[in-house]
């Protein structure tokens, strides 16, 4: 792109007089000098951190099918902002969040990202849940040199200098879950029904899972794949097929269903008499926040693979949970003190602190300087100590398996022995140290 601009400029220069060239050169020099003076304060992409505040964008769906999951991430970001501001802000500036609603509309995500970067001139953006929304905004951030913090597990196969991926990649979530289910501890399961919402994360996740299961000796006929659209509500036929599949024994469901479709799926699963004992569900997108909207009586014993649970017995987590409940009550948010925390909420909150720590370390809000400062950065998150990778914008973290309890919380039944380094581009021979 740069060479194209210069070649066009060269052609135009031939038409200018010497005087005009002198004036143009002085103007360009002044513009460059002006840009240099702003570089330490700005973040690239035209961000404005002049004055007493620094703006950040919050890009989560507050309406539509994904609101069930994303509204709480907005709340977590706001709580982190309030805490940091109460401690003096970042580089002497108070954080000013600019909140927009992309309304679960993937095209609108891109438009809102442009609005935040170009019109609102934010220094960083915290947002997105689905991979289709992230991929929708990716070119916007790269073209405008913006910085997005993405807090949700995803399928990998991507790494951009303009995105910080704090959610898990396959070797930190999918693979540990599959290994657990195939282990004696997890039940020695031999038959897998891969059910997901029809978009990039479930499709790619299941491609990885299927290849991994086959490499572990699971026959192809023991692996079934099926997908439903966003906001799908009728799971009667699909659950009937799962019930028939489970008759053969040692069967389980690997679920990448996203959004409010989880409610009718789990309800129908129970209605047809399926339980965790006969065919457990291992979910990759259902956590405590989604369980708030479900009748957990029939969900007991089903599983989920994450890197954080509200029930973790850690001092940092106990304080985080108490603070979040108090924050929701003080702000008059729906649910108030009964609100819960979960994995994406944990990383949405952590992301703000990672950005603030990196900016302080860099002495700047400049995107390149912040990203460089992030590499190797450690933080005592609610999930325990985590560390940014030295080379890629991904987070090393623990993997965990949780079992649903009657109260909608999880009992952590397995945890990796140490932090699992991220492998965004997963290969079957890339083994995670557990």
Residue 148's φ and ψ, nearest 5 degrees, are: -110, 130
Side-chain-facing half-sphere of 111: CA atoms under 13 Å? 8
> How far apart (Å, rounded) are the C-alpha atoms in residues 399 and 422?
11
Q: Could you write out the DSSP letters of every residue in 46-95? A: T----TTEEEEEEE--SSSTTHHHHHHHHHHHHHHHHHHHHTT-BTTBEE
CATH number of 53-168+313-396: 3.40.50.2300
For position 429, what pLDDT does the model report?
62
Contact between 180 and 415 under an 8 Å Cβ cutoff? The reply is no
Q: How far, rounded to the nearest angstrom, does the alpha carbon of residue 223 sit from its chain's CA centroid? A: 27
**Which alpha helices (DSSP H) does 272-337 contain, by range?**
288-291, 315-330
For position 156, what pLDDT does the model report?
94
Contact between 382 and 346 under an 8 Å Cβ cutoff? The reply is yes
**DSSP for residue 1:** -
pLDDT in tens, 259-303: 889 999 999 999 999 999 999 999 999 999 989 888 888 899 999
The helix/strand/coil state of 210 is: helix
Dig out the tokens for 314 from the structure.
């850690």
| Identical fold, 53-168+313-396 and 171-310+400-415 | yes
For position 183, what pLDDT does the model report?
98
Strand partners, 43: none
Unique residue bearing structure tokens 């106990």: 318
| Sequence spans of domains, the chain | 53-168+313-396, 171-310+400-415
**Which alpha helices (DSSP H) does 216-335 contain, by range?**
236-246, 262-271, 288-291, 315-330
Which candidate, 306, 301, 304, places its Cα nearest to that of 283?
Answer: 304
Contact between 324 and 331 under an 8 Å Cβ cutoff? The reply is no
The helix/strand/coil state of 138 is: helix
Side-chain-facing half-sphere of 307: CA atoms under 13 Å? 34
- Range 171-310+400-415: architecture per CATH: 3-Layer(aba) Sandwich (3.40)
For position 45, what pLDDT does the model report?
56
Contact between 124 and 96 under an 8 Å Cβ cutoff? The reply is no
> How far apart (Å, rounded) are the C-alpha atoms in residues 387 and 79?
22
Query: In the chain, which residues have pLDDT < 70?
Result: 1-46, 429-434
Bridge-based pairing state of the strands 191-197 and 251-256: parallel
pTM of the model: 0.85
> How far apart (Å, rounded) are the C-alpha atoms in residues 277 and 287?
20
């Amino acid at each position: 792109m740069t060479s194209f601009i210069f070649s066009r400029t060269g052609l135009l220069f031939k038409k200018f007089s010497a005087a005009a060239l002198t004036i143009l050169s002085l103007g360009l020099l002044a513009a460059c000098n002006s840009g240099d003076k702003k570089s330490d304060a700005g973040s690239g992409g035209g961000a404005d951190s002049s004055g007493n505040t620094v703006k950040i964008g919050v890009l989560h769906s507050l309406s539509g099918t994904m609101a069930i999951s994303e509204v709480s991430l907005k709340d977590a970001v706001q709580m982190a902002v309030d805490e940091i501001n109460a401690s003096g802000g970042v580089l002497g500036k108070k954080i000013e969040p600019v909140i927009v609603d992309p309304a679960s509309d993937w095209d609108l995500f891109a438009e809102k990202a442009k609005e935040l970067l170009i019109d609102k001139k934010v220094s960083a953006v915290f947002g997105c849940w689905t991979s289709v929304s992230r991929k929708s905004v990716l070119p916007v951030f790269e073209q405008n040199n913006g910085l997005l913090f993405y807090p949700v597990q995803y399928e990998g196969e991507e790494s951009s200098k303009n995105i910080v991926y704090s959610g898990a990649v396959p070797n930190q979530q999918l693979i540990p879950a599959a290994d657990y289910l195939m282990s004696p501890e997890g039940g020695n399961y031999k038959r897998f029904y891969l059910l997901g919402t029809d978009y990039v994360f479930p499709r790619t996740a299941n491609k990885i899972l299927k290849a991994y299961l086959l490499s572990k000796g699971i026959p192809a006929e023991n692996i079934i794949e099926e997908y439903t659209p966003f906001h799908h509500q009728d799971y009667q036929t699909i659950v009937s097929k799962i019930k028939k599949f489970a008759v053969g024994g040692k069967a389980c469901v690997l679920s990448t269903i996203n959004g409010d479709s989880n409610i009718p799926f789990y309800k129908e699963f129970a209605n047809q008499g399926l339980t965790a004992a006969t065919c457990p569900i291992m979910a990759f997108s259902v956590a405590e926040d989604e369980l708030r909207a479900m009748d957990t009586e029939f969900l007991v014993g089903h599983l989920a693979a994450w890197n954080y649970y509200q029930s973790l017995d850690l001092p940092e987590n106990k304080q985080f949970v108490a603070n979040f409940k108090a924050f929701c009550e003080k702000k008059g948010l729906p649910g108030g003190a009964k609100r819960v925390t979960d994995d994406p909420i944990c990383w949405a909150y952590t992301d703000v602190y990672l950005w603030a720590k990196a900016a302080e370390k860099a002495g700047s809000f400049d995107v390149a300087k912040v990203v460089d400062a992030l590499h190797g950065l450690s933080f005592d998150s609610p999930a325990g100590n985590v560390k940014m990778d030295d080379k890629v914008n991904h987070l090393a973290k623990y993997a965990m398996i949780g079992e649903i309890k009657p109260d909608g919380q999880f009992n952590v039944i397995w945890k990796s022995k140490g932090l699992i380094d991220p492998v965004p581009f997963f290969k079957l021979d890339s083994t995670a140290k557990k």
